[in-house]
Each structure stands twice: as C-alpha cells, then as structure tokens.
Structure 1
Amino acid sequence: MHFVPSRPLVIAVSIALALSACGSNTDSADNQPLVPPAAPADQGAAEVAAVPSATAFVDTIASNQRGDARYATLATNAGVRILGGFLAVWKPLTELVDAGSPAPALDGFPAVVASTWTGVPNDGKPDGTIVNAAVHAANIDYVVQATANRSAAQATQAYLDDRRGKGYSVTEGLGPLTAAWRAAAQQTTTINAVAADAVSVLYNDGGNNTGVAGSANAGFGSVVDLVNLVGNNASTEPAKRFYKYARPYRWSAAVQLLPTLVPAKSTTPATDGGFTSGHSAEATRDAVAMAYALPERYQELLARGLELGESRILAGMHSPLDVLSGRILGQASAAANLADAANAAKKAAAVTQAHATLMAATGTNADSFAAYAQSGTPANDRFADYAVNKANYLRRSTYGFAPIGAVGAAAVVPKGAEVLLETRQPYLSDAQRRVVLKTTALPSGYPVMDDAEGWGRLNLFAAADGYGAFNGNVVLVMDAAKGGFHALDRWRNDIVGSGKLVKQGSGTLRLAGANSWSGGTELSAGVLQGDSATAFGAGDVYVSGGTLIANAPAPLKVAGKYTQLSGATTLELDIGAAGGQGSMTVAGAATIAGGTLRVKFANGYKPKAGDSIVVLSAGSLKGKFVTITVDGYANVTPVYSATGLSLTIGG
C-alpha cells in the first residue's frame, strides 16, 4: 500500500506542535524531556520446524512406480508408505517376501507383498481385515448419505469432474483469470455438459487437459510444463494395489452410484481399488502447481482441488478416506517435484511467463494484477467468498471423522514442504515457511493423517494466511520494490503464542485475525496495518519507524503500551462514522515522542464543523505528535488530555 500526496481538492493541514528548546518532546505533566520506554523484549530466538527423521518422501518419490504391483509395499514404495496410517483402519491381505526378494523391510515396516485380489468385499475370498469397524462404517455411510442427498447441480459437477480432464476442471479456481489461462494454455475439453444418453454411453474427454506444453506454446508452454511435471512419479496405482480397499458401491448397495457414471464403472474389481483416489490426487497436485505459478489465486485453486475430490464422493465413486488420502499424496507429489533442484529453472520460467502473459491478456500490470485476480463476485466466481472457501477446505480436510489417535500431538513438517509456500510468501525464508506450516497444521489423531512426515496434517489454505502462532521472534522483511506479495500481503489467521513480531522493510503487512500473541509488536520500517480490533495481539506496540495504520471496524486495541518515537514515524487512523471505526485505544501508557498523526475518513464519513472526534484514548498519555494531518480539513484543533487525544473540526 502506497500513499500519495492529497490532490488539490483535498486540503490537508499540518499543525506544528511546540517543542522544547532542545528540540525534543516533553512530558506535559512536568515539562521534562520525554523518555520513551524500551521496545518489547526479544524472545531470544525464532521458532524452528525440524525435519523429521522418517524417510523423506521427497527423497524417495522415484520409488512410486506403477511397475509390478507385487512389490509395491510400505518398505519399497514412497506412495504406499505415506498412506500407512490406513493400516489402523484396514489391513490388506499380504504375503511375506521370500528370502532374496527385491522388497526389503524399511523403517520398521515389514517386508510384504500384495496377494491376489478380487476387490469384492465379503465374497468368501477376504482381501483384508477391517481393523477399525467404526471408522470403516462411518467412511461408507458418509457416501451413502452423500449420494442419497446430492443435488442436481452436484450431480452435474460430479459427472464433469469425473469425465473431464482434471487440469481443465481445476482452472475454474482461477475465477476472473480462468478464460485467459485456458486460452493461453490452449486447453480444450469435449465435455461441457451431461449428454442425454450419458446413462448408457461412456464419454471420454477428447481435450488436452492441461494444454499445449513446451516450445509448441511460446506464450504459456513453460506454465503447462510446470503443471505436468508435478505428476512425475505421482501414480496412485501402487497404493490401490497394496491396500486393496474396494470402492464404496462395492461395500454397500445403499451407495447410489451416479447413473450417468454407470458406463464408467469398472468390470474388473481386482484392478479397481478405491484407496487412494486418483482423481483427487491429480486435482490436488494440479491445483498446487497452478497456485505456485499464480499465487494471487492460491487459496481459491486449492479450494477447487479439494472440491473435485468431494465430487468423487458425491458420484459414489470414492469414500472420504479415498479422497482424503488423495490430498495427502497429491500434496507430497507436487512438493517433491517442485523441491527438485533440477526443476528450479522451470519453476522460475513458469512464474514469470504466467504473470507476463496473463497481465497482457487482462490489460493489467504489476500494480493492478492482484486486484483483478480477486475482482470476481459470487455471481461470476464460485470461489469469491473467502469464508465459504475456508469452511469447505477445513471440512474436506477431515470429513468429520472422530480422532482415533493421540490428540494434541505437536505437528511436524515434511522435508521439502516449505516449497509449497515459496511464491505465496516469497518474503519469508525457507525456515520461516516451515514454521508457518507447523503453526497452521491440522489437529492430530484423524484417520490416515498422522503420517510420520506430517503430510496429512498440512493445511495449505491456512498457511497461505500466514503464521498461526508466534513462538519466538518473528522478524519479517518485506521489500516493496520487488512487487507482488513482497510489497503487500495480508495475514488472516488468529495468531496465538508468546512471541514477538518485528516488521522491517518497505513493504506492507496487513493483520486481520483475532490475534492474542503476547510478546509485542515492533515496527521499524514499511507499513503495518491493523484490519481487526485485536490485530496487534495482547502485548505492547512499539513504532520506531514506518507507518502503523488502524483500519479496524471498531477501535483498534493495544492491550499493553503504545510507543511512537520521533523521526520518520506515522500513526494513521482511518476513522469511520460508527463504532469508533479506525480509532485506537491503549490499555496501558501511550507515549508519543514525536512523529506524525495522519487522520483519514473512511466509507464516505465527513464530519461537520464543531464535531469533536476521539482518535486516541489510553490509560495515560504522554507527549505529542510533531505533525498532525487531517485529510480534507484545513482547520482542526488537537485537544490533548492525560488519557487521550481528540480533534475538533473547525468551520
């Protein structure tokens, strides 16, 4: 956010305040030089998110090959191993590996191979054993209820998400940029509606899914390459063959398979497992890749990826655990390919090309592109409602299962997972991004999700909203000259913890959560904006440089002390007509050693002559601002008291 001088029609007045002879501010109570309090104490060190000791998926993804399913085991296949939590729900029939077999034990997992499998439950040839009957029953019953109550719109969406290319479908998460992306990628589909005879005819998409890749598409080929490369070594087939868990309609006749998808029903159950969902895994990794290239639509794309997974449940094709595991494998596969050093140049080329091409297509530039990307409304962008996206993402991350494991376990962050936030939070270090993932992780204990590496508990939607906790010093350096999120970002999580935030650099950070961290806030450069009443947590606020903005719909609350030093410091209050909007209240002492107060009026509010506006109230107030500017008014009188500051509007 950048401020420019007021235009001629908007007159700003600067009111010079008296200073002591030595040029310093004074304590009005005894006219002695004002001595500001010290900055909030540092917490000693930044929090870290150590790499877990478990064998890393990003190092072993190449083992996830379709190959001979007989040797796809937890010991030999990364895709099977990452979903090993399913063994607490369902144990597939396996055979021990003979001596000399190419499938050794690993990380304590037994060396086993898949047995012959029919894929038909309760047929007298058991393919496994139900370990947790309650979870299994809830898993299948969820599909029974979902398919019995699906709407016509959901049925149409489920059909399209089944038969259409997943990469094409996920682009719906781009909202105002969808058409431009599809045109640039040269994406096509032959399935845009449900044919009248779809109940008896199998229609396959004749389009090109992700588009035209490489040099054949000079304007967008690098972007298509990025989306394609996250599918390397990402097959769900080994997991399907190892776990041998049937599709929901084979478990229960009460599951109502979508009639238009009956022609797509496999006639060979033994090669048609439900766990894990291939559609869900592909949609997730495509969404992650697109979000990497175009982080201005990060959360919306991720939301679309999980929506496509839920379509598989509504279709009757998959169960919640099938879909949930697809999210896990899809995230891990995308991260492993994005973290591969061999793909560094490809990533950079895709990000650059995506922005250059789409800006040209939409008539935007570096300053206006982000706003355009978010310009949709619920009428023309299904993912325009942030609150709905957030609620749906959380629901689709757990599907309402009750915990079956330890609750309250500390989160771990997989090796390489920090790459998933690389373009969304480019101003953070890799170590900081790992802490963001750690402090925003999903709770522990849910079925399948407590893998040793931490992939199951990642909540990328929440991570895109910044830290979930400050458990140490968080030093944030944003360089506005680099543009994009370096110049402006918003954190919407409710931040807890005992740590301290230190904002540095020329960029702008907006805080919008119901925050309660207690270690304090120190602003030394750039802009720090409070968009909620408790934006700055429960500690002191210390401004040694830059601009602090109060833009909350109610008075912005400083729970401790507020200190503003002299020099290039500004407190901006965006005052509204009702509820104390934009004003600031300080529970402790407010010390104003100098600097500027700028008052703006928001939402069309225009005070009239004679109005007295309380802009700052405190337990106690010492000192004065050197300069006060009030946009639009040439005659304003500041009235200081021992506990606050009000402005009287002149005629």
Structure 2
Amino acid sequence: MQKTSFTLAVMPLALALALAGCGGDSDSDASTSTPVVTNPTLTIPAAPTGTGAEDIASVQDVSTVLPFVDYAYTNQRGDARYATIDTNAGVRVLARYLDLWTPSSLIVDAGVTAAAYGTFPAVVASSWTGIPGDSTDGKAVNSAVLAQNIQYVVTATTGRTADQATAAYLDDRRGKGYSVTDGMGPLTTAWRTAAQQTTSITSVAADATSVVYNDSGNNVGVGAASNTRFGNVVDLLGTTVGTNASTEPAKRFFKYARPFRWSSSVVVVPALVPAESSTPNTDGGFPSGHSAEAGRDAFTMAWLVPERFQEMVSRGLELGENRILAGMHSPLDVIGGRIQALATVAANLRANTGVADVAYAQAHSTLMAAAGVSTEADFISYAHSASSSTDRFADYATNKANNARRLTYGFSQIGDATKPATVPKGAEILIQTRFPYLTYSQRRVVLKTTALTSGYPVMDDAEGWGRIDLFKAGDGFGAFNGDVAVTMDATLGGYNAADTWRNDIAGAGKLTLKGTGTLHLAGANSYTGGTDIEGGTLQADSVSGFGNGDVYVGKGTAVIAAASALSVANYTQLATGASQLVMGSGTQGQIKASGNVTLAGGTLNITFASGYTPSVGSTLTLINAKALNGTFSSITVNGFKATPTYSATGLTLHLDSAA
C-alpha cells in the first residue's frame, strides 16, 4: 500500500492550525521532510525520573543458607538411607514438609518439633514399613492439609475421564524424556527424529490390567558418541541435568506413603495396578520421582528451545498432574518433585555452561534446518505455527490457567502470606536463553517479581525454589520496583530482536528501552515511574501497555496498537523520536492523555489494523489530551492523502483522498 505524507515544522500552535486548515497533504516521503524549526516558546518536559535506582534480588547469606547449586553433589541415591536435612541438599530443599509431617526417624523425644529444621540427629531409620498407621510411620503435624492432600486425589481419580486415564498411563510407563517432547508442538517430530528417540509404550495394551509393561525405548535418545547431529542435546538431558538428581534420599527421609495406601477411595488407573510396588517401605510418595524427572527434562528443553519455553514448562507440570490422576501421587508429592527439579536443573546448567551452550547451538541449528527456516524470527513463528488441533499447548490462555492451578492445587496459605520473595543462588540461569538481552541481575529480578506469594504448604523453602513460577517468569517482569533499562540488539536475532512481556507490571519504577530491537508490552500495566524510549521500538499492545506514568519518546519509536485508546499521563516526543498509531474501529490506536501531550517534532506514522479500512472523507481522532503543545514534523498515512487539524487539546486527521 502506498504511503503518503505531509510535513509540518514545529511552530507556534496558531500557525500550525492555520497551515492544517490549508491542507498540507504533500506526496513527498517522510524521509524528505523539511528541517525542523525549533519553537522557542515550546517548553519540553524532562524525561521521567522513576525511582532513581534499580531493583535487585540479592543472594541470601550463605552462612545461614546453604545454596543448593553449591551442594547439589550431596544428593546421591546411594546415600538414601542416611540422608538428613543437614547432610543432603535434595532433602533440605524440601524441609518445609516438616510443617505438615514428622517422619518416624525424627520422633526422638517429645520435644522434637518440625520447626527445628536442620537440627535433627542423623538417624538411620530402616524399620519403616511404608504402611500408613504403622508405628514406624510418623505423625501428622497439620492433619487438615494432609487430609486435603489425599482428598484431592480421591476426587481427581474418581472423576477422571477415559482420556485422562490413558494420558496418565502413558506418562507413567513411557520414558519421561520421550513423553514431554510432545510439548514441542510443531517441532516434536523433528526433535524425536534428531534425537533418535524411541518408546515401546504407544497405547494401553488390552491386558495391561494384569501385565506390567515397561518402556524398552531409549527415553531421551542417542548421545553424541553415535549421534553427531543432536547427540550433545541428548547428553545434556540424559546425563548432565540428571546428575545429583535422585528423589530417593528425600523419599527415605520423609517416609510419607503414596495416596492409594492412605485411602482405599483413591482409584488407581486399572492398567497401572500391576505396576504398584509390593515393598511400600522402598516406595515413598513424597516427593514424586516422575514429576521431578519430567520437570528436569521439560525445564531443560525450555532452556534449549526458548521459542517453546512456556509450552515446555506446561508439559512438565502436566506430567506431574497426571501422576495425581493416575492415583500414584498426591499434589504435595508433585509439588515436591517440581521444587527439586527446578533446583537440580539450575545447579547442573550452572555447573556445565560450556556443555549447555554447545547443546543449545546444536538444538537450534538442527531444528531450524528441519523446519526449513534460516532466521531466528522465522523459527519463532514456526514454533508457534500449529493450531490447538495438532498442538495441545497452542493456546496461551489455557496454559496460563493450567499453570496457576498446578502450582498450588487449591491449597490455602498456611503461613505468612506477606514474605518478600527471595531468589536462590544460580536460579537466574533457568531463564537465561529466554531473555538473552537482560543482565544477570535483571533475570533475578524477573524471578523475584513473578514469584508465587508466600505461605503455601511446602513451598517456603529457605532459598526460594518453591516460589519460582517459571511460566510467569517467561512473560517478563511482574513489577518495576526499581528502574529497568533494557538494551536490545536486533542484529543478534531471536528474542534479542523482538519480544513480548505479557505480565501485568506494577511498581513505582520506570522502563527505558535502548538499542534496535522491538519490545511489546501486552499486560494490564500500572507502573508509575514512566516510559522512556531512547532507541528501538516499544509497542503498547494493551490500553495500559505503557503504565500509568509519563511517556517520553526521545529516540526510537513508540507504537500504539491497543484495541482501544492508550491511556497515559503525559506524552512527549522529541524531534529525534517517532510514533506509530495502528488505527482501528472505535478508539483503537488513539492516544488519550490525562495530562499534556508535547510534540517537539519527530514523525508520526498512521497504519491500520488488519480488517479495518477507513473511507475517504473520514476524520480520525488521533490524540485527546488535557493540553496539546507543538506538532509533529511530518505525518505519514498508509494509502491516503490527509489533512491534520491540531487543537488546544488534540489532533484529528481528515482522509482527503486515496493515495
């Protein structure tokens, strides 16, 4: 569509209005605009100042908190019988389970309480039978939460559908690495082919209710020794992130039975009954091993292919929920598996950055070739190209709702609900590839500002692993509690070139965008520190995309693409800045300022939303403000010759004719 522009120098408002009434619809391109004449009477506001400081997420004092990433090596399966909170990081990260349950090995005298974390003697408890009610079992500390925990499984298993039963069976019997790869959507076949993944569990056999079927496939695939195409990826999943990852020490320490042993009302999927262990004392419920393994695989795949970040997080948590639907685990078991998986993945990625970087590069080169794309932008598009009919994780809203449910499973907060979030040492690596343009410190702040609120059972561990919401973190900052300056480099491609933050961003800080990339703000934002565009393109995809503060377009471009008028306080554009309004029906694309709009020149480009074509003779309202001062130096309208009219409180545009 041809673009037509007209040019106006910045001048006193009366003269601008006079020229606007005379037409001013030049056929020249905006790049040929006449030099801007500075208006000596125009007062240009200063850029917003925000809070004047950045937010931080400091690592806790290591003299009081032993970081999991530094002590992951203590979590060894062979030491399971002797593991304690003092000696084992995999047990320690789940210590808040003692708010609910005291295992028999810790009942050493009447004075022992669950509050004494880390002070219990290293007792070897070999007498546990694993049968609830037995004297070797343990005792409830919070009976109400534990009862709710088991009742959740009763309700889930008595109400599950046939499809849920099948999914639960497949996720139980298949290798977890194979199962979760369907979270890759359009990339699933390419991934499985490149990894040379196989499984022998493709359906529920007719005799599965009496025969145990074990997967004879290779789970995550074939490693680098025999797979030069994708073997580094396979090795990262199969070896690296599986190190120091056993759930067995925690199971042996906490000694909490599986739900079907607590209640005969739990209905295990019939095809899984033959797989029930005959030795309860070696088959603890907390934490869920399947959930932990699925989390390790899925969260690592999300790191390797951040183009499917939230989809892979969703798939990992789905497998956890399927453990509940199977009747094999309780919600608390699954939550424990998630917590340990997050910590383990972070520890192993951090300890093996070189290996992980090689795997990341191999994953992208191989999958991009399989998809037939050559640019990161096209790869992002391809990764989300399927509909819900072929990609179970194509619908963002569904994924978001499922994530919220799977984090807490309906438990109420039983502890202090106001504790500030802390971010564990090394946790920022979990979102490193998702936000390559953020600094180390900024990634930590993303995790802090998107963390689950405090007080939920099990999740308030000393470091903060239990409160990490990886799905929400994938949508960017949750708050600007300090000022955030982001530099994006479009030449690096991928998320360095374009990204979207979908969280509802609160806080008193300001956002500054620099560089050459494009950042979309799509949430119901309420941050008040202001928005300063010093480079690149910042696009408001929601009516409050730019928050409740001032907007300052010094350089770069502000794009308004909200479904109705963008609400701002004050809006200022300098001669070196640019604005683009994506107009549509109603008030779509308009700027609505409760304060002043100050225009010291710069360009304005008018485009039209898909499906919307205004008619010749229409008058479009572009700006409504308490006061409008100055003008744009040029305005370009796609497909039309047009005449602007500036007033003391706004700007309208008459579409004179088609270009």
Structure 2 length normalisation: TM-score? 0.93
Post-superposition shift, 1:114? Answer: 3.8
Structure 2 letter corresponding to 1:36: I
Residue of structure 1 in register with 2:4 after alignment: 13
| Matched-pair contact (CA < 8 Å) for 2:164–2:325 | yes
Structure 2 letter corresponding to 1:179: T
Q: Take 1:52 and 1:307, find their aligned partners in 2: how far apart are those partners?
A: 31
Post-superposition shift, 1:332? Answer: 0.5
Residue of structure 1 in register with 2:648 after alignment: 642
Residue of structure 1 in register with 2:589 after alignment: 582
Q: Take 2:162 and 2:227, find their aligned partners in 1: how far apart are those partners?
A: 38
Residue of structure 1 in register with 2:620 after alignment: 613
Structure 1 letter corresponding to 2:466: G
Residue of structure 2 in register with 1:101 after alignment: none
For residue 549 of structure 1, the aligned residue among 559, 564, 576 is 559
| Matched-pair contact (CA < 8 Å) for 1:25–1:33 | no
Residue of structure 2 in register with 1:369 after alignment: 379
Post-superposition shift, 1:44? Answer: 2.0
Secondary structure of the residue that 1:110 maps to in structure 2?
coil
**2:572 aligned with 1:563:** yes
Structure 1 letter corresponding to 2:247: T
Q: Deviations over 1:509-541 (max 9, x none)?
A: 000000000000100000000000000111000
For residue 380 of structure 1, the aligned residue among 386, 390, 395 is 390
Post-superposition shift, 1:70? Answer: 2.9
Residue of structure 1 in register with 2:322 after alignment: 311
For residue 294 of structure 2, the aligned residue among 283, 288, 291 is 283
User: How high is the sequence identity, in percent, across the aligned residues?
Assistant: 58
Residue of structure 1 in register with 2:172 after alignment: 162
Greater RCO (CA < 8 Å, at least 6 residues apart)? 2
Secondary structure of the residue that 1:223 maps to in structure 2?
helix
Residue of structure 2 in register with 1:195 after alignment: 205
Secondary structure of the residue that 2:564 maps to in structure 1?
coil
Q: Deviations over 1:242-267 (max 9, x none)?
A: 01000000000010111000110000
Residue of structure 2 in register with 1:47 after alignment: 55
| Matched-pair contact (CA < 8 Å) for 2:210–2:274 | yes
Structure 1 letter corresponding to 2:529: G
| Matched-pair contact (CA < 8 Å) for 2:10–2:601 | no
Q: Take 1:51 and 1:214, find their aligned partners in 2: how far apart are those partners?
A: 36
1:173-322 mapped onto 2 (5 Å cutoff)? 173-228=183-238, 229-322=240-333
Residue of structure 1 in register with 2:41 after alignment: 33
| Matched-pair contact (CA < 8 Å) for 1:93–1:114 | no
Secondary structure of the residue that 2:597 maps to in structure 1?
strand
Residue of structure 1 in register with 2:409 after alignment: 399
Q: Take 2:81 and 2:273, find their aligned partners in 1: how far apart are those partners?
A: 29
Secondary structure of the residue that 1:563 maps to in structure 2?
strand
| Matched-pair contact (CA < 8 Å) for 1:96–1:113 | no
Q: Take 1:42 and 1:552, find their aligned partners in 2: how far apart are those partners?
A: 24
Secondary structure of the residue that 1:368 maps to in structure 2?
helix
Structure 1 letter corresponding to 2:159: N
Residue of structure 2 in register with 1:350 after alignment: 359
Q: Deviations over 1:390-429 (max 9, x none)?
A: 1111110111111111111100000000000100001011
Secondary structure of the residue that 1:647 maps to in structure 2?
strand
Q: Take 2:173 and 2:512, find their aligned partners in 1: how far apart are those partners?
A: 50
1:396-435 mapped onto 2 (5 Å cutoff)? 396-435=406-445
Secondary structure of the residue that 2:626 maps to in structure 1?
strand
Residue of structure 1 in register with 2:607 after alignment: 600
After superposition, the CA RMSD in angstroms is 1.5
Residue of structure 1 in register with 2:452 after alignment: 442
The verdict on how the C-alpha distance between 1:108 and 1:256 changes in structure 2, with shifts beyond 3 A counting, is closer
Post-superposition shift, 1:34? Answer: 1.6
The verdict on how the C-alpha distance between 1:20 and 1:641 changes in structure 2, with shifts beyond 3 A counting, is closer
Q: Take 2:79 and 2:596, find their aligned partners in 1: how far apart are those partners?
A: 71
| Matched-pair contact (CA < 8 Å) for 2:11–2:630 | no
The verdict on how the C-alpha distance between 1:129 and 1:458 changes in structure 2, with shifts beyond 3 A counting, is same
| Matched-pair contact (CA < 8 Å) for 1:25–1:624 | no
Post-superposition shift, 1:19? Answer: 4.5
Q: Take 2:424 and 2:60, find their aligned partners in 1: how far apart are those partners?
A: 7
Post-superposition shift, 1:95? Answer: 5.8
Q: Deviations over 1:524-577 (max 9, x none)?
A: 00000000000011100001000100011111111x11000002x11000111x
| Matched-pair contact (CA < 8 Å) for 1:96–1:112 | no
Residue of structure 1 in register with 2:92 after alignment: 81
Q: Take 1:227 and 1:163, find their aligned partners in 2: how far apart are those partners?
A: 19
Secondary structure of the residue that 2:594 maps to in structure 1?
strand
Q: Take 1:448 and 1:192, find their aligned partners in 2: how far apart are those partners?
A: 35
Q: Which consecutive residues of structure 2, in runs of 5 or more, have no partner in the other structure?
A: 13-33, 109-115
Q: Take 1:113 and 1:428, find their aligned partners in 2: how far apart are those partners?
A: 46
| Matched-pair contact (CA < 8 Å) for 2:55–2:482 | yes
Residue of structure 1 in register with 2:16 after alignment: none
Secondary structure of the residue that 2:261 maps to in structure 1?
helix
Residue of structure 2 in register with 1:5 after alignment: none
Residue of structure 1 in register with 2:147 after alignment: 137
Post-superposition shift, 1:305? Answer: 0.3
Q: Take 1:107 and 1:80, find their aligned partners in 2: how far apart are those partners?
A: 11
Q: Take 1:65 and 1:469, find their aligned partners in 2: how far apart are those partners?
A: 38
| Matched-pair contact (CA < 8 Å) for 2:527–2:547 | yes
